Amino acid sequence: MFMRSSTAALAALFFASTAPLAQAAEKPTDPQIAHIAYTADTIDIEAAKLAIKKSKNKEVVDFAKDMERDHEAVNKQALDLVKKLKVTPEDNDTSKALAKAAKEERAKLAKLKGADFDKAYIENEVAYHKQVNGALETLLIPSASNAELKSLLETGLKIFQGHEQHAEHVAGMLK
């Protein structure tokens, strides 16, 4: 029963936090896109750090380490690119909404323990990667004007899609 309500809460959060991305009618600029991408990566690194600290499940900890390693590598690449392009990432409403939703999610996860934590973390990882994939496909990639930034985002999409499948696989093992 507890599981169910926790999943429902996650689903509600997922839809609530998708809204700012879906409704951003105005095309974000490259400096804003760079900021959104960096924020999205950082959120997943922070969630991974929490899981590495809290989880006792080897599959979950291994998955979290994979997330931390990949997203740190991607962020480094993103930072190298903005430096090269002389673009200064610019904070914006989408980044703020993402960061706020992530903070709430982390607070929720922090209260859970053991198998409840593992399940909630992995389910959120599936939902979160799905959400970011949607944003990349429908908003960020089409809006990017610099070709190198666009290419980085396209690779980012493949990484996030891979992580989503990886998370689904781990979620299947927890059942």
In eight-state DSSP terms, residue 119 is H
Positions 117 through 156 that interact with another protein (CB under 8 A): 154-155
Cβ-based nearer residue to another protein, 54 or 129 = 129
Nearer residue to another protein within complex by CB, 30 or 70: 70
- CB 125, CB 163: distance < 8 Å: yes
Q: CB–CB of 149/85 below 8 Å?
A: yes
- CB-nearer residue toward another protein: 69 or 103: 69
Task: Determine if 161 is a binding residue for another protein (CB under 8 A).
Answer: yes
Task: Take residue 78 and report the two structure tokens written for it.
Answer: 């993103």
Answer yes or no whether residue 105 interacts with another protein by CB under 8 A.
Answer: no
Q: Choose the stretch contacting another protein; rule: CB under 8 A; options: 1-9, 100-108, 120-128, 158-166.
A: 158-166
Six-digit token string for 33: 């896109």
Is residue 159 close enough to count as binding another protein by CB under 8 A? Answer: yes
**What is the Cβ-side half-sphere exposure of residue 94, based on CA atoms within 13 angstroms?**
28
Please state at what angle helix 58-85 crosses helix 147-174, rounded to 10 degrees: 170
Site residues (vs another protein, CB under 8 A): 66, 69-70, 73-74, 76-77, 154-155, 158-159, 161-163, 165-166, 169
